[in-house]
Amino acid sequence: MIKGFSKLSKSKKIDWIIERYFNGNDDAKLVLQQYWNTNEKLQQLHDEFIENTITNYYLPYGVAPNFLINGINYTIPMVIEESSVVAAASKAAKFWLDRGGFKAEVLSTTKVGQVHFTYSGNSETLFDSFESIKSIIISDAKPITKNMEARGGGILDIQLKDKTVLMANYYQLHCTFETLDAMGANFINSCLEQFAKTLKREVGCSLDGDLNITMSILSNYVPECIVRASVTCKVEDLNEDPNITAEDFATKFVQAVKIAEVEPYRAVTHNKGIMNGIDAVILATGNDFRAIEAGAHAYAAKDGQYSSLTHASVEDGIFKFWIDIPLALGTVGGLTRLHPLVKFSLQLLGNPSAKDLMKVVAVAGLAQNFAALRSLTTTGIQQGHMKMHLMNILNQVEANDSEKSTLLDYFKDKTVSHSAVIQEINKLRN
């Protein structure tokens, strides 16, 4: 137990950690220090993003070129540690570049927040009272919504919902918002807290039962903030693999997607692959990948069973592959004005609006899924993935440059596995 840890200086925090958990070993301290930024101003900026910072945790920042989206060519930034993700996205982008590229459209941008409360009195009386003060609730929030409204956003609606069938005395204000280029979390939460104050003040004191606010918080489930990305082409133009016909590939591909639609065990891994692409762009652009993950997986289960986020069909000789996914993103606020690499990412993408970023992110997920399914239904997933993983294995065994060069050449036409790499490195060293 330590008291006042947050008040210690950065160096004192590190000293305490090294002494308590590393027996005072200075090598452990050097591990932390080697990731500090030599630019003191930039390091201070990173230190102030969160609390109790002691160093930076680096992830690779890569780019995937050749993404043709709605006629515009993009190079997409991706931050991820998993081998083959960037390569797979790039390969899918190049494949579709000559087949018309990706199409993407934002279907809706509504975001949700809720005031959760309990009320022990008559439901009908509560609803009558709410209708009479709804306009007051909106009016009281004007100081918060004024700037957002000036840009064309703001509160869309506030509904009172009876949830007592789920939990005794449970009600909620279900509120919808348009936040434009901002993700809007702070804006929405500020509005909700004001809604709660007005509800308690105007209604709580005049009813026949107790009204108590439990909490006011935005929801990361945004089934009305949806973007659709798709690709289409003639079946005969679909495949480049000489070992399988275009028709057979299309059949297997569609079947693979349908399996993910009906089998949750497959759907989870299927959607995880989609999120490889999506999360990588989310991180690069300074958005909240945890919120996006939670919302996407909830959406995948919206019909009562967890299912695929992507869909595929072949009709009249035309192959179509698409995704509908909720993405509540922002291009202003948060880290977008603070983190230099987030600024770089947004500039790389042409300083997109939130809607344009939604399109790019959805396309990245669709491309990732296409690349994975293409491998699964033809060569198998391990051939490409393990070749990308080869360098990680070589680094684990501390291979030198000569050993890396020899083994990269050796495994060009061979199956990569951890045991096979270890066997060959031992041969070289012996």
Q: What is the pLDDT of residues 95-105, one digit of tens each?
A: 999 999 999 99
**Residue 339: active-site member:** no
pLDDT by residue (tens digit) across 328-356? 999 998 778 889 999 999 999 999 999 99
Question: Which one from 272, 302, 414, 427 is the annotated catalytic residue?
Answer: 272
**Residue 19: active-site member:** no
Beta strand segments in 253-410, E: 310-315, 318-326
User: Does residue 357 carry a pLDDT above 90?
Assistant: yes
**Residue 234: active-site member:** no
User: Does residue 405 carry a pLDDT above 90?
Assistant: no
DSSP code of 243? T
Query: Is the dihedral angle over the CA atoms 376, 246, 96, 231 positive or is it negative?
Result: negative
- Provide mean pLDDT across the span 237-265: 94
Q: How far apart are the first and last CA of the chain?
A: 50
Position 388 scores a pLDDT of 63
Question: Which one from 134, 385, 387, 389 is the annotated catalytic residue?
Answer: 385
- Provide mean pLDDT across the span 283-303: 97
Amino acid at 18: I
User: Does residue 234 carry a pLDDT above 80?
Assistant: yes
Cα–Cα distance, 184 to 326 (Å, whole number): 15
pLDDT band at 408 (very low <50, low <70, confident <90, very high): confident
Q: Which residue has the tokens 């797979």?
A: 88
User: Does residue 195 carry a pLDDT above 90?
Assistant: yes
pLDDT band at 383 (very low <50, low <70, confident <90, very high): low
- Provide mean pLDDT across the span 402-429: 82
Cα–Cα distance, 332 to 107 (Å, whole number): 21
Q: Tell me the HSE value of 95 on the side-chain side, using a 13 A CA sphere.
A: 20
Q: Which of 247, 299, 238 is nearest to 99 (CA)?
A: 238
User: Does residue 2 carry a pLDDT above 60?
Assistant: yes
Work out the mean pLDDT of the chain and round it to a whole number.
93
Question: Which one from 10, 13, 47, 82 is the annotated catalytic residue?
Answer: 82
pLDDT by residue (tens digit) across 27-69? 999 999 999 999 999 999 999 999 999 999 999 999 999 999 9
Q: Which of 159, 182, 180 is nearest to 171 (CA)?
A: 159
Residues β-bridged to residue 72: 69
- Range 26-35 burial, b when 16+ CB lie within 10 A, else e: eeebeeeeee
Position 382 scores a pLDDT of 56
User: Does residue 376 carry a pLDDT above 80?
Assistant: yes
Position 409 scores a pLDDT of 81
Question: Which one from 288, 356, 387, 389 is the annotated catalytic residue?
Answer: 288
User: Does residue 386 carry a pLDDT above 70?
Assistant: no
In this prediction the pTM is 0.89
pLDDT by residue (tens digit) across 120-143? 999 999 999 999 999 999 999 999
Q: Within 10 A of 418 (CB to CB), how many other CB atoms are there?
A: 14
Q: Within 10 A of 243 (CB to CB), how many other CB atoms are there?
A: 9
**Residue 103: active-site member:** no
Cα–Cα distance, 29 to 325 (Å, whole number): 43
User: Does residue 245 carry a pLDDT above 90?
Assistant: yes
Position 424 scores a pLDDT of 82
Cα–Cα distance, 74 to 430 (Å, whole number): 48
**Least confidently predicted of 87-91, 100-104, 207-211, 222-226:** 207-211
Q: Does residue 413 come out as left (phi exceeding 0), alpha (psi in the -120 to 50 range) or beta? A: alpha
The DSSP H or E segment spanning 233 is strand 226-234
